[in-house]
């Protein structure tokens, strides 16, 4: 269920309000607030609020609104400091978005609970000035960003983590959608000029994940050779304006500390070599399993400084417990990461799923965690967790719709012709030159291509 509340006032009377933290907030002389419920479940929901300053620039702001029903509560929020007293909710700007120029906006969000009804909030204010208007669903004239032109990297530039989102050079949240290789030691023939041209131009992929297995005939057998292959694929992605995820694909054994020295050697090399590129994201441990969060965190806090020494700006993705399920596959949940996060900045946490195996309880965990942690789905499949079996279209679409609503980026497993249900191509495809037509796509490939080839919504203002 979605609702939108569009409120607009121009030339409202000025009312002063002192911020609860930081320098005194200035009064606004006009504002617009847009409120949307992005997902809802029994007893809970997630909502976004976009506040636009239509008056003089402010340095320090407080958004206020009223919950119409006594059972509605803010549980946790992001991109602001949230509090609630009775039915009155306040959200105060944080360091990176506290200044709002005339016409500037701030995107906030929260997870809430409710009993009974869940009506839209009322009486939005910005620094004490009321934003008044009418309720519309759908919006009669929703604010839109001008369509971005150019490749994903050309438009978005160097990425960074802001709050719980991945943000572009304009400090606006973005969602990257793309494909992962299979093991490059087995399917290297699938990654060539023709296949990457198709991925960038026909599939319109934003990113290309390079899965470099460490064991299983991978990196440990030829460190220099595999490092060179990864760098070459990063270059090919860059030439086509796609982001590249360098995936240190640890799987067996599941404790990433087994490969700690290899990880330091590998990431020291690739970070130094690719430090000047804007398209590189580092994924330091694919799917930790059979190991505690404390051990994973220790590994991350030793590897990340190696990357930062050469490439201080790049985003790093940290694997999570239970095959990067935030612990759900081990009977846990996101609370251990929330309570004890990795001591590093500009990082995201990996979440993996396979649609035929991982369903409502995994989606509920992702929805909760997305309010507290920056997440990236660096691997998922439309089939079972084995990589095989039939496509679960219903669950896959539910997952993709959820990721779109939450603006969580993803890479599908796999851009290969492996003889398994998760592969995008029919067996034998990689021996030819066609990587896009319906004749070479599997059911999974056709579904994913139809989703990622739709126009990106990259905000530039």
- Going along 69-143, which residue ranges are E strands? 73-78, 81-85, 88-92, 99-100, 105-113, 122-126, 129-130, 133-135
pLDDT tens by residue, 87-131: 999 999 876 678 888 777 888 888 888 888 888 887 888 888 887
Query: Of residues 34, 283, 287, 336, which has the active-site annotation?
Result: 287
Residue of 34, 283, 334, 379 marked catalytic:
379
Tokens 């949940």 belong to: 333
Active site residue 42: no
* Among 100-114, 352-366, 367-381, 400-414, the least confident range: 100-114
Q: Cα-flanking dihedrals φ and ψ of residue 153, to 5°?
A: -70, -40
From the CA atom positions of the chain, what is the Rg in Å? 23
Q: Classify residue 334 by its DSSP letter.
A: T
Q: DSSP letter string over 164-211?
A: TEEE-TTS-B---EEEE---TTT-GGG-SHHHHHIIIIIS--SEEEEE
51 secondary structure, DSSP code: E
CA terminus-to-terminus distance, the chain: 28
Token code pair at residue 235: 């270059």
CB pairs under 8 A, 24+ apart, for 155-162?
Answer: 155/458, 155/460, 156/458, 157/278, 158/278, 158/313, 159/243, 159/278, 159/281, 159/315, 160/313, 160/315, 160/346, 161/315, 161/345, 161/346, 161/347, 161/348, 161/374, 162/79, 162/96
Average pLDDT over residues 59-74: 90
Find tokens 């569009």 and name the residue: 6
Integer Cα distance of 296 and 224 in angstroms: 26
How would residue 149 be classed by pLDDT, with cut points 50, 70 and 90?
A: confident
CB count within 10 Å of CB 119 equals 14
For the chain, domains (ranges, CATH) are 4-135 (2.60.40.290), 152-452 (3.20.20.80)
The answer to whether 200 and 411 have CB atoms below 8 angstroms apart is no
pLDDT tens column, 208-254: 999 999 999 999 999 999 999 999 999 999 999 999 999 999 999 99
Question: Is position 287 annotated as part of the catalytic site?
Answer: yes
pLDDT, tens only, 263-276: 999 999 999 999 99
């Amino acid at each position: 269920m979605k609702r939108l509340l569009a409120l607009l006032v121009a030339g409202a009377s000025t009312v002063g309000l002192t911020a609860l933290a930081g320098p005194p907030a200035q009064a606004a002389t006009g504002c617009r607030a847009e409120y949307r419920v992005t997902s809802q479940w029994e007893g809970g929901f997630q909502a976004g609020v976009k506040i636009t300053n239509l008056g003089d620039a402010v340095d320090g702001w407080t958004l206020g609104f009223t919950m119409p029903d006594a059972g509605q509560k803010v549980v946790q929020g992001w991109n602001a400091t949230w509090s609630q007293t009775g039915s009155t909710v306040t959200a105060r700007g944080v360091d990176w978005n506290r200044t709002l120029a005339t016409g500037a906006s701030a995107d906030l969000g929260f997870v809430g609970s409710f009993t009974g009804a869940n009506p839209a909030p009322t009486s939005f204010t910005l620094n004490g000035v009321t934003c008044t208007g009418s309720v519309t669903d759908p919006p009669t004239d929703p604010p839109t960003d001008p369509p971005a032109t150019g490749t994903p990297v050309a438009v978005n530039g160097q990425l960074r983590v802001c709050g719980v989102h991945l943000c572009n050079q304009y400090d606006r949240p973005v969602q990257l959608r793309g494909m992962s290789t299979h093991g490059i030691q087995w399917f290297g023939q699938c990654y060539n000029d023709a296949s990457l041209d198709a991925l960038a131009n026909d599939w319109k992929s934003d990113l290309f994940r390079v899965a470099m297995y460490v064991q299983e005939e991978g990196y440990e057998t030829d460190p220099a050779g595999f490092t060179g292959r990864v760098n070459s694929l990063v270059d090919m992605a860059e030439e086509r304006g796609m982001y590249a995820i360098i995936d240190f694909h640890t799987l067996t054994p599941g404790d990433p500390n087994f490969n700690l020295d290899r990880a330091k050697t590998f990431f020291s090399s690739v970070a130094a070599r690719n430090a000047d590129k804007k398209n590189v994201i580092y994924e330091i441990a694919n799917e930790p399993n059979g190991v505690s969060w404390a051990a994973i965190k220790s590994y991350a806090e030793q590897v990340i400084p190696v990357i930062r020494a050469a490439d201080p700006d790049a985003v790093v993705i940290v694997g999570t417990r239970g095959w990067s399920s935030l612990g759900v596959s081990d009977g846990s949940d996101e609370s251990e990461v929330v309570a004890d996060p990795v001591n590093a900045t500009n990082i995201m946490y990996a979440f993996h799923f396979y649609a035929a195996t991982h369903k409502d309880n995994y989606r509920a965990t992702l929805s909760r965690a997305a309010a507290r942690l920056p997440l990236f789905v660096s691997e998922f499949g439309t089939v079972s967790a084995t990589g095989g079996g039939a496509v679960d279209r219903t669950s896959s679409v539910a997952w993709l719709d959820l990721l779109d609503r939450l603006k969580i980026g993803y890479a599908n497993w796999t851009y290969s012709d492996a003889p398994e249900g998760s592969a995008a191509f029919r067996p034998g495809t990689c021996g030819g030159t066609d990587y896009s037509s319906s004749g070479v796509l599997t059911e999974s490939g056709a579904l994913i291509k139809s989703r990622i080839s739709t126009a990106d919504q990259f905000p530039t203002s």
